[in-house]
Structure 1
């Protein structure tokens, strides 16, 4: 237990990448010290621990830093092998999960982020591309889970649950800010039901910022992003 207490997380309260790691640590019941970073004035420790990207999150375990949320999640699961296990033991299933996790990260996550930074025709094109990718994910997840929306509890919370949560669990706030309905229950019933389950989990409710605080941040972020493109 002494080793487990020697865990620190450098994060930022609104970063979905940081929230992934925070969620994983809390699901595993791993005690850790949280260090809030100001990304406009990065701490010397953050620059020391992540000199390549200079970003959060950074997990420091026994003085050894790890960067990139995707890598950190796998490290947590491999180092603390108790439930919930984020990745299955079966190599084929692990490979399938890694494939869809990569799809979410590389083709969907940043695309949805662009909706906050665009308007007019540019936003319309981005939203159409996003809907296409979400439909692909809907179909893939229905096939992977054999049409059954996965259970979400303390013993069943996997890698894809964490990734889907980081992408969609605050989309209602994002939708209010940028005005595009991203996740529609009629168009994507499987994903919509899954996200509804995720949002009811006590730890998910605990780690995400209050609605008013998040919407204020995103409104300012969008205003600044739109100004930078004009």
Structure 2
């Protein structure tokens, strides 16, 4: 059941961060009230720097003053710290391990390759485009015929890990010619289903806003 009182949670975040968006989605899915603190990443607060002195980045979850960092760790912590709320991970150990594996794949592959694409154009872009198309097809294979990656458990851990990056899909096509609807149509349909969830639609940027941001960033870097 959704929590009905303050449970001592503070999320230090940036609305720009797909990793922070994961945490906001998870908190919404679990119905956990919390204080949200928007961080200016160009002028990081003393609280953020004290809370995460190693990486000095968002997201950071404070629970009764104790610090939890790294988005996937935060998601797992929320499951363990609030067992009476809607679970994100399945209960079966093997299924939990699989969900963690694929979430790690999202970070290493989708974010890793997507970040490289932002910074290149011309001939070097070709192998990166091929790599991204392969990544999307691999994720579509894992999704299969399921409505969500959580399968019979519904929208869950892996869905939350990936869905903030689905707002990049339009940019993959616009800037790099990787059309997700053509390369991985089931994955594109999954993204559309996720956006129908209030927890998602209220906590991620629209694809149009992401595209505008990427375009401005590439101009600033002299890529466009």
Residue in structure 2 matching 1:206, options 202, 207, 214: 202
1:82-115 superposed Cα distances (whole Å, 9 cap, x missing partner): 3531111111111111111111111222211222
TM-score by length of 1: 0.85
Residue in structure 2 matching 1:188, options 177, 184, 188: 184
**Equivalence for 1:35:** 37
Q: CA deviation at 1:179?
A: 4.0
Q: CA deviation at 1:223?
A: 2.0
How many pairs were matched up?
220
Quick check: 1:160 aligned with 2:158?
Answer: yes
Gaps of 5+ in 1: none
Aligned equivalents of 2:211 and 2:167: distance in 1?
14
**Equivalence for 2:216:** 220
TM-score by length of 2: 0.88
**Equivalence for 1:149:** 147
Aligned equivalents of 1:124 and 1:158: distance in 2?
33
SS of the equivalent of 2:194 reads helix
Aligned equivalents of 1:138 and 1:210: distance in 2?
22
Map 1:18-167 → 2, pairs under 5 A: 18-142=20-144, 147-150=145-148, 156-167=154-165
Q: CA deviation at 1:170?
A: 4.0
Aligned equivalents of 1:183 and 1:36: distance in 2?
31
Q: CA deviation at 1:120?
A: 0.8
Distance 1:58 1:22, change over 3 A: same
1:98-148 superposed Cα distances (whole Å, 9 cap, x missing partner): 111111111222211222221111222211111112222222232xxxx33
Q: CA deviation at 1:54?
A: 0.5
- Alpha-carbon RMSD across the aligned residues, in angstroms, is 2.4
Q: CA deviation at 1:208?
A: 2.0
